[in-house]
Amino acid sequence: MNRATEYLKSLDHPEQAEMGPLVDRVIQDAIDAGSSDIHIEPWDSSLVVRIRLNGVLQELVHLPLELSEKLSGRLKVMANLISYETDRPQEGHAQLDTSSGGVELRMSFFPVVRGSLQGSVLRGEKMVIRIFDPNKRSFNLDELGFEADTLISLKQLLARPSGMILLTGPTGSGKTTAIYAALTHLAQQHGSSISISTVEDPVEYNLPMISQAQIHHAKDFTYPVALRSLMRQDPQVIMVGEIRDAETANIAVQAGLTGHLVISTIHSSSTAGVFARMINMNIEPFLLASSVIGVLGLRLIRTNCPSCAMPYQPEAGYLKLIPEHRLDEASLRQGGGCEHCLMTGFGGRVSVTELLEVDEVVREAILEKLPTRKLQEVAVGQGMRTLWRAGLERVLNGQTPLEEIIRSIPCDH
């Protein structure tokens, strides 16, 4: 039983729970489970507390609805927010000492309504706490679970003196962790002989030996402003948190062409699609083709729980997605659910990657402004293993069920 439930059970009247001990227990439960986020929201008859485990929400405890306001008040006091204000969104952060060390909490409060049986409107708040545990994070490229060939090629790209490396993938696909690991790798390779600077929104972790700047929109410290002035700081490696406008794209491309290694993320549905996205931001194809040296596509997939994974047979419709000649040697496995994985069948997460390296042939294709689909074909012809194929390999060797990659990776045929 988790600590929050134990605490509630120890009380004669759960609605009289003390907020200090309750909040401490909920957060400690989340940290113990290895969770990144806590969601607290009013449902019909209770205030549900859920934690995100391996990317999926799980119920932790149900609290009496009466505690809603007291709990939000307590959290807001911790984050130095206005505790009596419940009808507008608020955001803040707090430090908390736990038994395993200090953690940073980012809190967000959002007013919600819920109609009651009598027709009156109940107001409440949805509260989300994101946990940043510096003791738990390691930014080691070798430990992200990247495929061996991706790892070798990525390290070769990072060894180049100039050019742009772009990462792409949906929110929660591990882009930030991968970028921090890449910067840590560079810092370790070069020691104090290299100058590495970042511009981020926000800075999530402080990395040793790296200058990190945080965007501040209210003070007009935007990506373009920060990047332009950063160029006068003689950096060799520049990390840009995200390219989302033409001006930032333009400065970043120029930096990659003028002797800097630029690493950034960009939103796109595929690695090949990154080029069309940049061309839509008014970047000339010839600049793009000379500046970008690689695009890394990322997804995080859940892996089978080692305690309960067993052979299984996916349903026939899904099974067709596996090439017939691979089925004989395949070891298809799925977790059945046990106490170690809270009955989810999953035990952890691992990265699946697709690395589009820009060689002569791909460069020609970019110059010709080939449509994304065609550009992808050219890259595959040059040896790129797609996300789907990388995911399929993980299915064939029993790391994850077929359904998991169908859920998280676009099928490419």
Binding stretches for Zn ion (CB under 5 A):
305, 307-308, 335, 338, 340-341
Which residue lies nearer to Zn ion by CB, 167 or 341?
341
Is residue 399 within 8 Å of residue 350, measured between CB atoms? yes
Tell me phi and psi for residue 55, to 5 degrees.
90, -5
Q: Residue 13 belongs to what H/E stretch?
A: none
SS3 343: coil
Q: Which two tokens stand for residue 334?
A: 């799925």
Q: Shortest approach of Zn ion to residue 6 CB, angstroms?
A: 23
Q: Shortest approach of Zn ion to residue 53 CB, angstroms?
A: 12
Can you point out the beta strands (E) in 273-323?
A: 292-304, 309-311
Name every residue whose Cβ is closer than 8 Å to that of residue 229 and which is 6 or more positions away in sequence: none
Q: Shortest approach of Zn ion to residue 144 CB, angstroms?
A: 23
Q: Shortest approach of Zn ion to residue 230 CB, angstroms?
A: 47
Which residue lies nearer to Zn ion by CB, 56 or 152?
56
Tell me the Cα Rg of the chain.
24
d(CA 216, CA 214): 6
Which residue lies nearer to Zn ion by CB, 307 or 382?
307
Q: Shortest approach of Zn ion to residue 35 CB, angstroms?
A: 17
Is residue 337 within 8 Å of residue 160, measured between CB atoms? no
Residue 91, strand partner residues: 108
SS3 300: strand
Is residue 105 within 8 Å of residue 27, measured between CB atoms? yes
Which residue lies nearer to Zn ion by CB, 48 or 308?
308
Q: Shortest approach of Zn ion to residue 307 CB, angstroms?
A: 4
Which residue lies nearer to Zn ion by CB, 14 or 348?
348
Q: Shortest approach of Zn ion to residue 56 CB, angstroms?
A: 14
**Backbone region of residue 151 per phi and psi (left: phi > 0; alpha: psi in -120 to 50; beta: other values):** alpha
Indicate the residue whose CB is closest to Zn ion.
305
Which residue lies nearer to Zn ion by CB, 333 or 394?
333
Which residue lies nearer to Zn ion by CB, 113 or 310?
310
Is residue 161 exposed (0-12), middle (13-18) or buried (19+ Cβ within 10 Å)? exposed
Can you point out the beta strands (E) in 133-231?
A: 163-168, 196-200, 211-214
Q: Shortest approach of Zn ion to residue 172 CB, angstroms?
A: 22
Match 């008040």 to its residue by tokens. 73
